[in-house]
């Protein structure tokens, strides 16, 4: 399953023209928490100055009533970051805010640049100093160096130099700028709440506020908001657009719209196609909750098999730790899931999962189902084998760790000890994505729309 | 839904004869977190002394590796407490540990005594001092006053004076005593792990450890464990046993066994009977996740309607707060759930929920489903109307707050603005409980097996 | 010096009839912080109920504006506790508050009972349970067992059974009772602020509030305060009174009055008598700051030698820790003090200190002064050799650790490597104490006014 | 008194070639805590990489054993910052560490630049972005922009552009550079410990480690340390040197050497000269502890009057707060000091203080002494009237707040309600400073050695 090792990337949220901007941003981030649990931050602007609060932890850990009271202003941007390890995490929390020549400038970024290292090296050679190790700071440096007068022009100049994936929100004392890279790698959508403009990585953030989904911000589109106006301009177009297809498979919430499509609908199609490509003689269909629920329902519907819930997910999964000396055997799976013996015993199961990364967790899950009495296990994966790293903002293990690089499908089946194993084909995936086409499917296909630029060493 | 206002009661966990007793207790409590999120505590014993650690918050907030390292010993008891409001919460955290004449004595309690107040008043009049406002401390006082030599005899003498519901774990320097009241109001079961004995409120706590379910501890049964031996004795029997039937409806996890029954199985029967009693012309069956999932699956199966997932639950629900001035309209429901429009739009829905308490949250949920485009809503409740408070350890709102005391079923239907409303009958509930009979159904029927003894004022 | 190892005991503070009772108690405790740095607590009463807040740490760590806002009421008692080591420190924080038959009862205690263990054993045998390991809880048990109607009568009955040292403040919903043991071991004085009554261990707590010192509460005196009235009664008298003379030597602040005497005045007399008993050929007189300043000034004045400040005390001494592997040589002294070379170099010094406990710190201090260039060091101690433990509330090392039990004065002189060493005689000390007579001088003389009652084993 | 409102500036500490570099820096900062209580930070280098830890609070709050364990390396620099108010305090904590083209660079700064704003504006216009609002970051930007190869050359180039006061410590992966501005505004001295080099704002930091004072680093001197070598070079000389004379009056600890002089000695001379310039008919001399102790001893010695301690300072002064509605009358003084009535009553006092800033606190202190019974109060100030702000790193209130700008000496005397008032003359101050000449005395004289460069608006 993707939750095993694929890092949720990040989420951004913005609002313009609401008297409780910080509070709405807090709620918006809260609904986007599934995209990043490591840290959270909000910057607000009141026309005169900006204010910031950031911290490690969940949105609820970082923000409380007193903190939000200290963040007045009618505009705000927010960010949640995915969990990672590393020394200087504190400095890398977003939004980043810096002092530039005519005030402050803050930015929240979802995505990853492919030419950050050479850009950074060039600017450092000229004397730039960097506070963080993020590629996002590179964008701020470029914008600060622009001699253009208007913030939006500086941003356009800066973005002319960068390559890769970015859904960005900029905030100055009196302006909010939202922009999505010309390939449209990551989602970004526009909403509305009582006359205020909303921007978010996924539309579920509008729902929690009682707001309204308006539309996806298009690849290469930049929208400049002030409290009174909203104007759109375009970055130079890319040869084609490439929204990340893995958002449909795993990242986005099923109740969100991204790229103009309802995630739930696409994900259900994944399940149906999977059933068509890899039918199974079985008694029931179960999912690995919660990310595979919708695909499993689609599989069940297409196959005519009964959908069942037989893995109970622990809702309080937190920082549970392993005691040294404690055998790890299956422990991490048992902490997250428990099998309902009454449903499984003696049954032939279709188990639908979104993906297989390293395979170790899937193997443990299979063992748990066997111990609960499953007679046969037919594992169905609602995406093709993950075989390549992502350069556009998703944390995928290295080549060597990905099981699909080391084993054939039959070998994986043997390793997992399942009776049959079926991955959705790339064609099936693309067909399910429907009108969102072309997409970025590099993690499956290895076809990278934008190459990673490294430093000449 | 029960989560609206019915307080989860508490959970207890105990282990005897394991070298990592504190760690296993931590994991056990973690899997029982759904029964209490307010506080957690562990007491360990190493034959010579006991050690304690307790705190407000989730199990993961209270315990970490350093804390567990300071809790050596091969025996342990633990407790999680449900969320409540009140001034002196700190002192009421369990287990409670006190100094008695020959050492220390700790206790963890799930349940509620019905004669605590007169007992307490009598002892206070004689000069006893109380540190907490819990009825559990009353039991400790009674045990301390016994002049019997053996701990188990003192406990028997103490329990001879108390009435009501108790699943109790006692721990002294060298003994663990587990006991369940003669009516058997609350569950308590016995397990085994690598030769160590386990005791828990629900069997899912054994699964997380990789342990084995042995059997339910019987009503009126007391088991005395030392590191080497395990002996059973009996409290004087009650006229009949009365395990709480609401455990099947809502409290217990579906993957647990309680009262010797698999919860999942009973809960599925609730759904099936509900479908038989209150069929509906509809397109799909959805549940209010996660507590109603199993009953909804049962309803779907019996009715032949398709089961769908169309309410997405936010996994990060924490201490989310309302900003003063923020309209509350539907806010609390939107923070917990979001409706998947694509599934709902234009559909006739059967919505299965476990119960209706005050009705306000259900009403908001219905409104959310309407806004997502539901054509018809047929609400089905997998238990009878909740009309009476519980004296045996469950926190149910007062008479006046319970909607079933103020309105007829038809009035409730109108208030909730649903097209039809059907509650499972009491007979249906009892039939689903099957061999667990008789039960305590006082919250539905008002038939209290043991009356509440108040103080003469 | 006494700060080397003699534990400051504790302080109590109380107030009746002030609208900001909690806040005044906070300030009072703050000025009594020198008597206890481990923990602090306040209980308030508003006529209807009591409220409590306690915590580990300095008064400023435990109390802030929000905490005090949650402690309404016109009466309050507070306590600060000295630093100690031990497992269950948390539970031992004072004041202790318990539930008794007609409400709550809180107590703050300075002193130590000599018959706590047998009393406790007797009550435990009868079934009493204890939450703490303090002797103070024993008093609460005795009071709770009294069948008298009035709180003050219950306290009188309780105190009839206890022996030893106690300056006590009791607080119920509507009454504050202050009482000092018949021997008067520990100080307790009465003050006034804008019509409110104040009670404190030392009068410096009145000064910080802008209050007025009224008088010492007499040995065996009990004062019962309600918001409107103040009545006095007497415990049965002791054969004689024995206020602790070490308060004059070290514990109390020089700006306080205790036992009706100004501490500064008595301490200055100690220095003058010391100069008379042990004159020295020297250039300057210096003190070990700050506890010996006043005695050193007295010595300087009587001897005609110039007083100098040449040890600079670090004001930020906190939890400074030793890194493992770091040589300890003189480290602990260097962290607390630094010698001013310019004053010391080539000089013959009289160094005045309050006492010598184990001698190890004094030895390091002497070495520091030598390194700064002192030509001769004449150490003068403003009290006799400390040779005996205290049973009345002061934490003195064991017999074996006290250097005066292992060495003669000449041997100590050699060990400390000073040119001469002079202790004030017991007669000198008693004479300086003046009208406060008789006193308890057991730590010097071994004459214990009240024996320690142990358990028969 | 200066503590009333004059901000202690900051302290720096560095060490090269010691295996416990972080721990020694912790101790060094601890002894320099009097120069800054707001925040503390340490950066270490091990030849390969640098590591940082910083936080708000006292050194003891920010650093503990675990934190120091995470700071390996044989070189380190540290900083403590004075207490201030302001929004973005967190980001301004020093040392500042940034990423530059060939690694990281950290800096700790005591002092203040006079041309930071125009430099910053110029660089911001060219596209530099700033993380802090400190002038210290300006230096880092300049050094990063230098195209020189060696760190020391980059620093020389950077410093060629800045004006004002700086005692700086730079740390890269493998080099530590210490440099003092050509005027030598702030102190910086060199020490030695077991072969390791030490650098500190004051020599008392060497004493706490058991290290040895070597010499003052000279104005305009730069020392480049690597683990193996130490080389000196010179910045272009200033027309004259101007060490801050206020260090002698108030900032430095009396046990320190600064500018090659023992502070204690100079401060004593201040007192003696004060006695000569403003003798008084009085009974005793008292000081406002602790900063005026040494000057008061000098006054006492020169005048032949007896020195007495009669203001007791509370050692636990922390964050004590005023409750709203609480009359402030004298409160802030009473929290810090208490008068010893026995010493003062009926006496004619000479009170020696280091300075008068706004006069409000002095006025309260005088009132406290009157209430304790002082017959006459002759206030003597060991420096001239403070009449001008400081541009070189000291936080002095604005012109309008300084009492010396609004009143004549006679008017101040009347306002303070003292019987006589005498300030040391500027000549007297300079004479006491002795061989340290010329100095910066701008806060007294208004003669600014280096003007403040503002932005053209």
Q: Does C22 touch chain D (CB under 8 A)?
A: no
Candidates C307, C320, C338; nearest CB to D204: C338
Q: Report the gap between the CA of C124 and the closest CA in chain B (Å).
A: 5
| Cβ <8 Å between D58 and C318 | yes
Q: Does C140 touch chain B (CB under 8 A)?
A: yes
| C5 domain-assigned | no
To test the contact with chain B by mutation, choose from A62, A332, A341 the residue with the greatest count of B C-beta atoms within 10 A, namely A341
**Together in a domain, D218 and D303:** no
The DSSP bridge pattern shows strands B257-258 and B261-262 to be antiparallel
- Confidence class of residue B456 from pLDDT cuts 50, 70 and 90? low
- Residue B320's pLDDT is 57
- Residue A324's pLDDT is 58
- Residue A334's pLDDT is 86
Rounded CA gap, D348 and D279, in Å? 13
Rounded CA gap, C105 and C150, in Å? 12
Rounded CA gap, B72 and C87, in Å? 14
- How far is residue A278 CA from its own chain's centroid? 28
Q: Which residue of B has its CA nearest to A340?
A: B255
- Confidence class of residue C400 from pLDDT cuts 50, 70 and 90? confident
- How far is residue B85 CA from its own chain's centroid? 17
Candidates C126, C130, C146; nearest CB to B98: C130
Q: Which chains touch A (3 or more CB pairs under 8 A)?
A: B, D
| Cβ <8 Å between C318 and D60 | yes
Q: Which residue of D has its CA nearest to A143?
A: D127
Q: Which chains touch B (3 or more CB pairs under 8 A)?
A: A, C
| Cβ <8 Å between D33 and C64 | no
ipTM: 0.90
Q: Which residue of A has its CA nearest to B301?
A: A306
**Together in a domain, B346 and B384:** yes
Rounded CA gap, B236 and B240, in Å? 12
| C441 domain-assigned | no
- Residue D331's pLDDT is 74
- Residue C409's pLDDT is 97
With contacts defined as CB-CB under 8 Å, which chain D residues touch C342? 262, 264-265
How many domains does one find in chain B?
Answer: 2
- Residue D134's pLDDT is 84
| Cβ <8 Å between D144 and A125 | no
**Together in a domain, B145 and B208:** yes
- How far is residue C347 CA from its own chain's centroid? 35
Q: How many CB pairs under 8 A join B and C?
A: 57
Return the number of other C-beta atoms located less than 10 Å from residue A346's C-beta: 8
To test the contact with chain D by mutation, choose from A87, A117, A129 the residue with the greatest count of D C-beta atoms within 10 A, namely A129
- Residue C1's pLDDT is 66
**Together in a domain, C307 and C176:** no
**Together in a domain, C211 and C282:** no
Q: Is B424 exposed, middle or buried (0-12, 13-18, 19+ CB in 10 A)?
A: buried
Q: Does D226 touch chain A (CB under 8 A)?
A: no
Tell me which of B10, B189, B204, B440 is the catalytic residue. B10
With contacts defined as CB-CB under 8 Å, which chain A residues touch D100? 124, 129-130
Q: Which residue of A has its CA nearest to D129?
A: A100
**Together in a domain, B122 and B48:** yes
Q: Does A53 touch chain D (CB under 8 A)?
A: no
Low-confidence ranges of chain A (pLDDT < 70): 1-8, 83-89, 317-330, 455-457
Candidates D98, D124, D146; nearest CB to A100: D124
For D66, the 3-state DSSP assignment is: helix
Give this prediction's pTM.
Answer: 0.90
Last residue of a domain, one of C226, C241, C256: C241
- Mean pLDDT within C71-98: 80
- Residue C255's pLDDT is 95
Last residue of a domain, one of D241, D257, D287: D241
| C86 domain-assigned | yes
Rounded CA gap, A457 and B207, in Å? 53
Q: Does B431 touch chain C (CB under 8 A)?
A: no
Q: Give the domain extent around C121.
A: 10-241
- How far is residue D398 CA from its own chain's centroid? 18
Cis amide leading into A60 (omega within 30):
no
| Cβ <8 Å between C316 and D60 | yes
| D and B in touch (3+ CB pairs within 8 angstroms) | no
| Cβ <8 Å between B319 and A60 | yes
Instruction: Tell me if residue D204 is catalytic.
Output: no
- Mean pLDDT within C232-238: 96
Whether residue C2 is predicted with pLDDT greater than 80 in this model: the reply is no
| Cβ <8 Å between D99 and A133 | yes
DSSP summary character for residue D70: T
| A262 domain-assigned | no
- Mean pLDDT within C25-30: 95
**Together in a domain, D231 and D292:** no
With contacts defined as CB-CB under 8 Å, which chain A residues touch B335? 27, 30, 208
Q: Which sign, positive or negative, has the C-alpha torsion B263, B268, B271, B277?
A: negative
| Cβ <8 Å between D101 and A124 | yes
Whether residue B417 is predicted with pLDDT greater than 80 in this model: the reply is yes
With beta carbons less than 8 A apart as the criterion, state whether B338 and A255 touch. Answer: yes
DSSP summary character for residue D34: G
Q: Is D398 exposed, middle or buried (0-12, 13-18, 19+ CB in 10 A)?
A: exposed
Higher pLDDT, C64 or A73: A73
Half-sphere exposure of A48 (CA within 13 A, CB side): 3
Cα angle at A224 between A218 and A226, to 5 degrees? 140
Mean pLDDT of chain B: 91
| C278 domain-assigned | yes
| D24 domain-assigned | yes
| Cβ <8 Å between B33 and A314 | yes
**Together in a domain, C287 and C351:** yes
- Mean pLDDT within C289-315: 93
With contacts defined as CB-CB under 8 Å, which chain A residues touch D146? 127
Q: Report the gap between the CA of B403 and the closest CA in chain A (Å).
A: 27
pLDDT per residue as tens digits for the range C361-392: 899 999 999 999 999 999 999 999 999 999 99
Q: Which chains touch C (3 or more CB pairs under 8 A)?
A: B, D
Q: Does B127 touch chain C (CB under 8 A)?
A: yes
Residue A68 phi/psi, 5-degree rounding, is: -65, -30
Q: How many CB pairs under 8 A join C and D?
A: 142
With contacts defined as CB-CB under 8 Å, which chain A residues touch D147? 127
Q: Which residue of C has its CA nearest to B105?
A: C129
Candidates A33, A68, A325; nearest CB to B323: A68
| Cβ <8 Å between D99 and A145 | no
| C and A in touch (3+ CB pairs within 8 angstroms) | no
Q: Does C127 touch chain B (CB under 8 A)?
A: yes
| Cβ <8 Å between A99 and D130 | yes
pLDDT per residue as tens digits for the range B269-307: 999 999 999 999 999 999 999 889 999 999 999 999 999
Can you list the positions of beta strands (E) in B37-188?
Answer: 39-45, 50-56, 75-81, 96-100, 103-110, 167-171, 176-180
| Cβ <8 Å between B253 and A338 | yes
- Mean pLDDT within B403-412: 96
pLDDT per residue as tens digits for the range B193-220: 999 999 999 999 999 999 999 999 999 9
Q: Report the gap between the CA of A251 and the closest CA in chain B (Å).
A: 14
pLDDT per residue as tens digits for the range D86-138: 334 677 789 999 999 989 999 999 999 999 999 999 999 999 999 887 889 99
- Mean pLDDT within D335-342: 90
Q: Does C65 touch chain D (CB under 8 A)?
A: yes
- Residue B330's pLDDT is 67
pLDDT per residue as tens digits for the range D44-94: 999 999 999 999 888 988 998 889 999 999 999 999 987 544 334 677 789
| A381 domain-assigned | yes
**Together in a domain, B348 and B236:** no
| Cβ <8 Å between A20 and B330 | no
Percent of chain C's residues with pLDDT above 90 = 78
CA distances, B426 to each of B386, B423, C167, C397 (Å):
11, 9, 64, 71
Q: Does C11 touch chain D (CB under 8 A)?
A: no
With contacts defined as CB-CB under 8 Å, which chain B residues touch A309? 254, 293-294, 297
Q: Does A263 touch chain D (CB under 8 A)?
A: no
Whether residue B396 is predicted with pLDDT greater than 70 in this model: the reply is yes
Rounded CA gap, C341 and A157, in Å? 64
**Together in a domain, C112 and C151:** yes
Whether residue D258 is predicted with pLDDT greater than 50 in this model: the reply is yes
Q: Which residue of C has its CA nearest to B140?
A: C129
- Residue B86's pLDDT is 39
CATH code where residue D160 lies: 3.60.20.10
Whether residue B370 is predicted with pLDDT greater than 90 in this model: the reply is yes
Q: Does A124 touch chain D (CB under 8 A)?
A: yes
**Together in a domain, D236 and D347:** no
Rounded CA gap, A339 and B207, in Å? 9
| A452 domain-assigned | no
Q: Which residue of C has its CA nearest to D319?
A: C60
Rounded CA gap, B71 and D48, in Å? 40
- Residue A454's pLDDT is 80
With beta carbons less than 8 A apart as the criterion, state whether C356 and C381 touch. Answer: yes
- Residue B88's pLDDT is 44
Q: Does A24 touch chain B (CB under 8 A)?
A: no
- Mean pLDDT within D272-300: 96
Whether residue C318 is predicted with pLDDT greater than 80 in this model: the reply is no
CATH code where residue A276 lies: 3.40.50.2020
**Together in a domain, A223 and A276:** no
């Amino acid at each position: 399953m993707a939750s095993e090792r694929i890092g949720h990337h990040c989420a951004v949220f913005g609002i313009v023209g609401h008297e409780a901007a910080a509070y709405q941003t807090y709620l918006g981030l809260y609904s986007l928490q599934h995209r990043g649990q490591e840290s959270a931050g909000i910057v607000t602007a009141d026309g005169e100055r900006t204010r910031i609060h950031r911290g490690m932890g969940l949105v609820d850990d970082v923000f409380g009533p007193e903190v939000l009271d200290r963040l007045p202003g009618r505009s705000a941007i927010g960010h949640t970051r995915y969990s990672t390890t590393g020394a200087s995490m504190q400095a890398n929390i977003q939004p980043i805010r810096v002092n530039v020549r005519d005030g402050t400038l803050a930015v929240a970024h979802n995505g990853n640049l492919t030419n950050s290292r050479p850009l950074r090296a060039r600017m450092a050679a000229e004397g730039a100093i960097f506070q963080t190790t993020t590629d996002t700071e590179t964008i701020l440096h470029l914008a600060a160096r622009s001699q253009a007068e208007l913030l939006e022009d500086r941003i356009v100049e800066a973005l002319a130099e960068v390559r890769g994936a970015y859904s960005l929100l900029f905030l100055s004392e009196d302006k909010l700028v939202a922009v999505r890279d010309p390939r449209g790698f990551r989602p970004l959508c526009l909403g509305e709440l009582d006359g205020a403009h909303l921007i978010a990585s996924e539309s579920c953030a509008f729902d929690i506020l009682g707001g309204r989904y308006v539309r996806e911000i298009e690849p290469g589109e930049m929208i400049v908001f002030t409290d009174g106006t909203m104007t759109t301009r375009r970055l130079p177009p890319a040869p084609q657009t490439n929204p990340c297809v893995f958002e449909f498979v795993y990242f986005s919430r099923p109740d969100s719209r991204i790229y103009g499509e309802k995630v739930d609908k696409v994900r259900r199609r994944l399940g149906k196609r999977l059933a068509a490509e890899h039918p199974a003689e079985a008694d029931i269909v179960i999912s690995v909750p919660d990310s595979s629920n919708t695909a499993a329902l689609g599989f069940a519907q297409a196959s005519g098999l009964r959908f069942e819930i037989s893995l109970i997910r622990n809702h309080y999964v937190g920082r549970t730790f392993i005691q040294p000396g404690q055998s790890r055997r299956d422990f991490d799976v048992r902490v997250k899931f428990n099998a309902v013996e009454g449903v499984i015993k003696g049954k032939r199961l279709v188990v639908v999962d979104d993906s297989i990364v390293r395979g170790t967790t899937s193997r443990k899950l299979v063992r748990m189902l066997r111990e609960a009495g499953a007679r046969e296990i037919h594992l169905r994966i609602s995406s093709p084998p993950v075989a390549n790293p992502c350069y556009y903002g998703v944390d995928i293990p290295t080549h060597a760790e990905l099981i699909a690089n080391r084993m054939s499908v039959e070998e994986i089946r043997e390793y997992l000890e399942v009776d049959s194993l079926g991955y959705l084909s790339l064609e099936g995936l693309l067909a399910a994505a429907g009108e969102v086409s072309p997409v970025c499917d590099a993690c499956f296909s290895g076809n990278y729309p934008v190459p990673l630029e490294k430093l000449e060493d």
